Amino acid sequence: MARKDTKIIEAGRAPSLHAGAVNTPVYRVSTVLFPDLETMRTEAQAYTYGRRGQPTTRALEEALCGLEGGARTVLTPSGLSACTLSILTACSAGDHILVTDSVYGPTRVFCQKLGKRYGIATTYFDPGIGAGIRDQFRPETKAVFLESPGSFTFEVQDVPAIAEIAHKRGAAVILDNTWATPLYFDAFRHGVDLSVQAVTKYIGGHADVLMGALTANPAHKDRLVDTHGTLGLCSSGDEAYLALRGLRTLGVRLRRHQESATEIAAWLKTRPEVARVMYPVLHDDPGHVLWRRDFTGACGLFSVVLKPCSDAAVAAMVDGLEHFGLGYSWGGFESLVVHGHILRSFPPTLEGPMLRFHIGLEDVEDLKADLAAGLERLRPAT
């Protein structure tokens, strides 16, 4: 059986179906023609309508499904829509969902607004709860939503322990697996039922794609496909082509992201302006033991908590950075920084302001020099 680095290159490719082209061409499709009425009536052909799939989108779905090791993958217009689709697949009106308190902010907003409006009750739990989650279940609990490591604060959750309890209670386990990608965390082997990927991030890899993907195991495949189709979600052939292109280099890019991020995170820990670094790769990180047990690698995303300083000091540091862009998202080739603002029911204690860094593919010494100059600007303005 091929290893994942080989699957990244080969999955979803069928050159013989496209005149020998190595890459599946871009199909721009709305209407699909049928040869006769009977075929149209029975839908007895591979493609029936552009929204329901075409060769380029199907190639990406098959590639991601093979990499995840799931039963079916569907594409959505964004990572957030993949998160919300997972909840609507697992839950109905009157149901209850348990959500990690460190979840991606817009997913939390969905639960608080539309989830509540449509009759889905949400309870947030401490991301470090592990097997203690057993006390959080209600008779109507139908799903547990995990994100490991957590958004902004990077707590690593005990996914297998939580999944075992959830399944005993008849609840589905959803995981936003964007940070590790299928390459570095095997969601289904650890008990996950629905695995979310923000394709926008590392799979796309070039800051030019907006897309999500949701992969289901056999037990949840049919409901996923039905919910996805009923909501009318789809992605274009152009976006799928770009995501496929990005996927082929995922392995080599992630290794570089992790190597550079580990070096910079360790260096930042030595700086007098830094209170702590939140990155489970580091040996003294609270999540390191679980990360080492369950993950096979890491990406370039982590947070830094500064020692107490003013907003003006943070602005002086960030505004003058040369190689770090100030922008949302992450996972592209470029380095980024954002000022962390978190929504939590169980907020962690932070010594000072928090900055989230995405370490890109630039020369690591240039990035360190840029950060060193920024930290020097921080101190006089404190």
List the catalytic residues: 51, 104, 176, 201
Alpha carbon distance 377, 379 (integer Å): 6
Do 306 and 355 meet the contact criterion of CB atoms below 8 Å apart?
yes
Alpha carbon distance 179, 302 (integer Å): 10
Q: Which two tokens stand for residue 300?
A: 């370039």
SS3 354: strand
3-class SS string, 214-281: EEECHHHHHHHHHHHHHHCCCCCHHHHHHHHHHHCCHHHHHHHHHHHHHHHHHHHHCCCCEEEEECCC
Cα atoms in the Cβ-side hemisphere of radius 13 Å centred on 181: 31
Where does residue 164 rank: exposed (0-12), middle (13-18), buried (19+ CB within 10 A)?
Answer: middle
Neighbours of 197 (CB within 10 A): 30
202: which DSSP letter? T
Q: How many residues are present in the chain?
A: 382
85: which DSSP letter? H
Tokens 């990035």 belong to which residue? 367
Angle of helix 55-68 relative to helix 237-247, nearest 10 degrees, comes to 40
Do 82 and 220 meet the contact criterion of CB atoms below 8 Å apart?
no
Residue type, 295: F
